[in-house]
């Protein structure tokens, strides 16, 4: 298997595959960007592989078809994109019916079929009810893999019919290894690791040299005394093309350090509040019609202001 980390989960699945005794539905859940979807795809490949009793051989016809995205016994579903190329908020009942139809068919290449349902915590109520039927009466040889971040958003009726497989953040070492494999240049690995915090999927943008360089510049800016002109220039150039959460994390890092050293209660409260406001900025940008650069600069000035008092 090409997976890095998650050894316990790998071992559990290898065991089930070897004994040819798979749970018919498995719910892979845990934080974003730790490789749950990748794990589900690896598991699907292994289950469909014609040679392997543990992990996919990579050479049989089934493995080739899967790599070519043309396997008749494999279906992958998630949140669809609308006409404006924006991802829908929910997985709807029509998609789950497609899934139901697929698992009701018999395997064309072998007795096995696999469905991966990504973002399963975005199933709407009607869709979750429709999924229950497939989970209650599984077709022979069919494996359903549900992948999600927030397991509590799934109805208990769905959860209780699956084998629960929790995932957690990767160790520092494994995270570094994944970042390297993703193709992040050596010069940015330290920063990538710092931002990823065991969730390398969060820093996938840093595979692009331009974005990685911009983040490195931001990280250096945030460590220096506040230079509003440099900040404004940076924000005007890069704000629209980078993850707002990554930007906020870098901005807040030095102030968080400062916060830990504050002993005065009022000052602590004031800085905490300013940090919280900054953390909420990406969400407010979406819900209110704020001008991105000036509103972010205002938060930054306020942070600097209450931090100086300290
Ligand atoms: Zn194979």
C-alpha 42 to ligand 1 mean position (Å): 11
Find the 73 Cα to ligand 1 centroid distance in Å. Answer: 14
| 272-275 long-range contacts, CB within 8 A, separation 24+ | 273/306, 274/299, 274/302, 274/303, 274/306, 274/307, 275/303
Local structure of residue 81 (DSSP, 8 states): B
Dihedral angle sign, alpha carbons of residues 270, 274, 279, 281: positive
Q: How far is the CA of 133 from the centre of ligand 1 (A)?
A: 31
Residue 4 CA to ligand 1 center (angstroms) comes to 20
How far does residue 64's CA lie from ligand 1's centre (Å)?
8
Kindly give the distance from the C-alpha atom of residue 53 to the centroid of ligand 1, in angstroms, as a whole number.
10
CA of 59 to the centre of ligand 1 (A): 5
Full pLDDT tens readout for the chain, 310 residues: 568 999 999 999 999 988 888 899 999 999 999 999 999 999 999 999 998 778 899 999 999 999 999 999 999 998 888 887 788 888 888 888 888 888 776 656 668 899 999 999 999 888 998 888 888 877 888 999 999 999 999 999 999 999 999 999 999 999 999 999 999 999 999 999 999 999 999 999 999 999 999 999 999 999 999 999 999 999 999 999 999 989 999 999 999 999 988 888 999 999 999 999 999 999 998 888 889 999 999 999 999 999 865 5
CA 49 – ligand 1 centroid, Å: 4
- The C-alpha angle 227, 228, 229, rounded to 5 degrees, equals 95
The rounded Å distance from CA 170 to ligand 1 centre is 28
CB 87 within 8 A of CB 79: yes
- In order of 192, 194, 247, 275, the CA distances from 253 in angstroms are 14, 10, 10, 10
Measured between alpha carbons, how far is 91 from 296 in angstroms, rounded to an integer? 33
Domain 7-166, CATH number (from 3.90.850.10, 3.40.190.10, 3.30.420.40, 3.40.50.300): 3.40.50.300
118 class by beta-carbon count within 10 Å (0-12 exposed, 13-18 middle, 19+ buried): buried
Distance of CA 256 from the midpoint of ligand 1 (Å) = 49
Helical axes 189-196 vs 244-261, angle rounded to 10°: 80
In the reported structure, the alpha carbon of residue 5 is separated from the centroid of ligand 1 by a whole-number distance in angstroms of 22
Q: How far is the CA of 103 from the centre of ligand 1 (A)?
A: 21
Residues whose CB falls within 8 Å of the CB of residue 173, separated by 6 or more in sequence, listed in order: none
CA of 110 to the centre of ligand 1 (A): 12
Å from CA of 193 to ligand 1 middle:
34
Quote the pTM value.
0.85
Rounded to whole angstroms, the Cα distance separating 310 from 300 reads 16
Distance 50 CA to ligand 1 centre (A): 5
Question: Where do the structural domains in the chain lie, given as residue ranges?
Answer: 7-166, 208-308
Could you give the CA distance from residue 180 to residue 200 in angstroms, rounded to a whole number? 10
Q: What HEC string does 260-284 produce?
A: HHCCCHHHHHHHHHHHHHHHHHHHH
168 Cα to the center of ligand 1, angstroms: 28
């Amino acid at each position: 298997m090409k997976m890095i980390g998650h050894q316990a989960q790998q071992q559990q699945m290898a065991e089930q595959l070897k004994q040819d005794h798979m749970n018919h539905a498995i719910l892979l859940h845990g934080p974003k960007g730790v490789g749950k979807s990748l794990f589900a795809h690896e598991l699907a490949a292994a289950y469909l592989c014609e040679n392997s009793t543990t992990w996919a051989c990579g050479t049989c016809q089934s493995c080739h078809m899967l790599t070519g995205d043309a396997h008749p016994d494999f279906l992958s579903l998630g949140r669809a994109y609308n006409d404006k190329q924006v991802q829908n908020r929910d997985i709807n009942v029509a998609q789950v019916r497609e899934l139901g139809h697929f698992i009701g068919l018999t395997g064309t290449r072998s007795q096995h079929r696999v469905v991966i349902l990504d973002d399963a915590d975005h199933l709407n109520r009607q869709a979750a009810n429709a999924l229950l039927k497939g989970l209650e009466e599984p077709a022979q040889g069919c494996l359903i893999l549900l992948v999600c971040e927030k397991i509590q958003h799934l109805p208990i009726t769905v959860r209780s019919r699956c084998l629960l497989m929790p995932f957690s953040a990767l160790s520092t070492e494994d995270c570094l290894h994944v970042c390297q494999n993703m193709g992040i240049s050596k010069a940015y690995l330290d920063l990538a690791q710092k931002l990823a915090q065991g969730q390398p999927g969060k820093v996938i943008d840093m595979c692009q040299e331009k974005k990685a360089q911009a983040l490195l510049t931001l990280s250096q800016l945030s460590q220096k005394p506040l230079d509003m002109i440099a900040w404004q220039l940076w924000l005007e150039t890069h704000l629209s093309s980078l993850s707002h959460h990554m930007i906020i994390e870098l901005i807040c890092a030095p102030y968080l350090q400062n916060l830990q050293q504050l002993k005065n209660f009022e000052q602590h409260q004031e800085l905490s509040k300013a940090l919280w406001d900054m953390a909420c900025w990406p969400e407010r940008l979406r819900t209110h019609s704020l001008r991105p650069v000036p509103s972010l600069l205002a938060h930054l000035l306020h942070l600097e202001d209450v931090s100086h008092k300290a």
